[in-house]
Amino acid sequence: MPEPWLRGTLTEIDAVPRQILHALELAAEDCTRWCDDLTEPELNARPYGLPSVAFHMRHIARSLDRLLTYADDRWLDEDQLAALDTEHDPITREPLFQEFTLGLSEAAQRVRAFNPDRYDQKRSVGRNRLPSTLGGLLVHCAEHTQRHVGQMVTTAKLAVAP
């Protein structure tokens, strides 16, 4: 089956959010394909010192929340900041997959809510308030997610290698 962006779906949605949504769909599919059968020790393994599959799954969900908070023209709250310090912590299987699935689902809902006419609106990112735009943040959601999916898949393969 072709990747989501080649399936002709979500045609009722503007092209930019459509591609972001397709990137989130692909992330979910790749996680299912490469991570569903991993054991809890394999999910938390750090082969060759790499960040674990669990880290990448949590980081994807949490970074989407952070990026979309900036896209909403808001600052991170205390819970989001505290969560940054726990992304590398070992975690059990069920809460990990729940957080990942919920994070992708909530991100998709939030992406759908943005008005395409406002992509050029200025936004600031991080404590240093680095300049960006709403459109830049949305595109980065897709790019950043896919970067970590690739790392997650690679680590999953190494975690089960003989």
Establish if 162 belongs to a structural domain: no
Q: Which residues contact 70 (CB under 8 A, 6 or more apart)?
A: 123, 124, 125, 126, 132, 137
Q: State which residues of the chain have pLDDT below 70.
A: none
Domain extent, residue 40, equals 16-157
Establish if 8 belongs to a structural domain: no
pLDDT of residue 88: 97
Establish if 2 belongs to a structural domain: no
pLDDT of residue 61: 98
- Greatest Cα pair distance, the chain, in angstroms, is 52
DSSP letter, residue 13: S
pLDDT of residue 33: 98
Q: Which residues contact 107 (CB under 8 A, 6 or more apart)?
A: 24, 61, 64, 65, 68, 141
What's the CATH code of the domain at 23? 1.20.120.450
pLDDT of residue 136: 97
Domain count, the chain: 1
pTM for this predicted structure = 0.96
Establish if 135 belongs to a structural domain: yes
Establish if 11 belongs to a structural domain: no
Establish if 31 belongs to a structural domain: yes
Establish if 35 belongs to a structural domain: yes
